[in-house]
Structure 1
Amino acid sequence: MSNVCDICGKGEMAGMNVSHSHLKTKRKWKPNIQRVHAVVDGEVKSINVCTRCMRTNNKVQRAN
């Protein structure tokens, strides 16, 4: 499954782990992506949605 939200486009972010001695190593932050059945253009489709978009009811109309 892709790590990109189909609604807002949120994806992986890159950065650094910084230790106490200030050594830096690369790391990634992944968004919490869920597979959801939603109503899109009057049809029920399964889309990848981040949990932030799932909380906003005006963006995702969930199908039962």
Structure 2
Amino acid sequence: MSRVCELSGKGPMTGNKISHANNKTRRRFLPNLNDVTLISDVLGQSFKFRVSAAALRTVDHRGGLDAYLAKTADGDLSANALKIKKEIAKAQATA
């Protein structure tokens, strides 16, 4: 299982761990990923995602999964989230 957020594309970063003696060794900063179930209002379904805590706050701020996916660039989304985004757009176009 990769350590990449399915909605924001946020992944591991690298940097230095600095000791008290100012020794520098390489380390990884991993995103805070959580397994969540988000509900689409348009489709009336729930979907499971592995999302960072920051992206989950953004989903709430933008007004839900449908609004978040509509405003997010396709390059940041996972293949699963991109498929759901297209289904939502198709459902909104027919409604």
TM over 0.5: yes
Q: Deviations over 1:24-50 (max 9, x none)?
A: 111011111011111356231101111
Which of 43, 46, 53 pairs up with 1:44?
A: 46
Higher percent of residues as strand: 1
RMSD of equivalent CA atoms: 2.0
In structure 2, relative to structure 1, the CA distance for the partners of 1:10 and 1:44 (3 Å cut) is same
TM-score calculated relative to the size of structure 1: 0.74
> How far has the Cα of 1:19 moved from its partner?
2.4
TM-score calculated relative to the size of structure 2: 0.54
Equivalent AA in structure 1 for residue 37 of structure 2: H
Report sequence identity in percent: 33
Aligned length: 61
Looking at structure 1, the residues matched to 33 and 46 of structure 2 have their Cα atoms a distance apart, in angstroms, of 18
In structure 2, relative to structure 1, the CA distance for the partners of 1:60 and 1:48 (3 Å cut) is farther
Unaligned runs of 5+ in 1: none
Q: Greater CA radius of gyration, 1 or 2?
A: 2
Unaligned runs of 5+ in 2: 66-95
